Amino acid sequence: MTMKVLGFAAQSATDALAPFRFERRDPRPDDVEIEILYCGVCHSDLHMARNDWGWTFYPVVPGHEIIGRVLGVGADVTRFKVGEHVGIGCMVDSCQHCSACEQGLEQYCEEGHTLTYGSKDRHDGMMTYGGYSEKIVASDKFVVKVPAGLNLAGAAPLLCAGITTWSPLRHWQVGPGSKVAIVGLGGLGHMGIKLARALGAEVTLFSRSPGKEADARRLGADHIVLSTDEAQMRAARNHFDLIIDTVPYQHDVNPYLPTLSLNGTLVLVGLVGDLAPTLSTVPLILGRKAVAGSVIGGIAETQEMLDFCGQHGITSEIEVIKMQEINAAYERMQKSDVKYRFVIDMASLKA
Residue 306 in any domain: the answer is no
Cα gap 7→151, rounded to integer Å: 24
pLDDT in tens, 304-314: 999 999 999 99
| 3-state percent helix, strand, coil for the chain, nearest multiple of 5 | 30, 30, 40
Instruction: Flag whether 69 is in a domain.
Output: yes
| Shared-domain flag, residues 79 and 191 | no
Same structural domain, 167 and 205: yes
Average pLDDT over residues 120-125: 93
Q: Does one domain contain both 98 and 207?
A: no
Supply the range of the domain harboring residue 22.
Answer: 2-160+317-350
Number of folded domains that form the chain: 2
Give the whole-angstrom CA distance, residue 235 versus residue 61: 47
Q: Which residues contact 186 (CB under 8 A, 6 or more apart)?
A: 246, 248, 336, 340
62 and 45 share one domain: yes
Whether 139 and 19 map to the same domain: the answer is yes
CA dist 149 and 198 (Å) reads: 18
d(CA 343, CA 329): 10
User: Does some domain include residue 52?
Assistant: yes
Q: Is residue 302 part of a domain?
A: no
SS (H, E, C) 198-248: HCCCEEEEEECCHHHHHHHHHHCCCEEEECCCHHHHHHCCCCEEEEEECCC
Cis peptide before 277 (omega within 30 of 0): yes
For residue 168, the 8-state DSSP code is: H
Q: What contacts 78, CB < 8 A, 6 or more positions away?
A: none
Kindly indicate the confidence band of residue 262, based on its pLDDT and cuts at 50, 70 and 90: very high
- Give the CATH number, domain containing residue 65: 3.90.180.10
Residue 201 has pLDDT above 60, yes or no: yes
**Which DSSP helix (H) or strand (E) runs through 311?**
helix 299-312
Between CA 132 and CA 68 the distance in angstroms is: 12
pLDDT tens sequence across 221-245: 999 999 999 999 999 999 999 999 9
Q: Which residue(s) pair with 133 in the sheet? A: 7
Same domain, 221 and 172: yes
18 is a domain residue: yes
CA distance 121 to 288: 42
Is the pLDDT assigned to residue 272 strictly greater than 80?
Answer: no
Q: What is the pLDDT of residue 1?
A: 57
**What number of other Cβ atoms are within 10 A of residue 31's Cβ?**
22
Gap between the Cα atoms of 293 and 269, Å rounded: 6
User: What backbone torsions phi and psi does residue 273 show, to the nearest 5 degrees?
Assistant: 140, -155
Tell me if 29 is assigned to some domain.
yes
Bridge partner list, 293: 268
156 in the same domain as 8: yes
Q: Are residues 167 and 124 in the same domain?
A: no
**Cα distance between residue 229 and residue 245, in whole Å:** 18
pLDDT at 269 over 80: yes
Cβ neighbours for 294, distance < 8 A, ≥ 6 positions apart? 164, 167, 168, 171, 267, 268, 269
Report whether pLDDT(273) > 90: no
pLDDT at 216 over 90: yes
- In this structure, the answer to whether residues 207 and 124 fall within a common structural domain is no
Question: How high is the pLDDT of residue 53?
Answer: 87
Residue 228, in any domain of the structure: yes
- Asked if 6 and 149 sit in the same domain, the reply is yes
Residue 105 sits in the same domain as residue 166: no
State the Cα–Cα distance between residues 15 and 320, nearest whole angstrom.
23
Say which CATH number the domain at 242 has.
3.40.50.720
- Looking at the fold, whether 93 and 168 belong to one and the same domain comes out as no
Question: C-alpha distances in angstroms, 102 versus 105, 300, 345?
Answer: 7, 11, 36
pLDDT of residue 338: 87
Contact 117, 47 (CB under 8 A): no
Q: Of 250, 278, 293, which closes a domain?
A: 293
Residue 237 included in any domain: yes
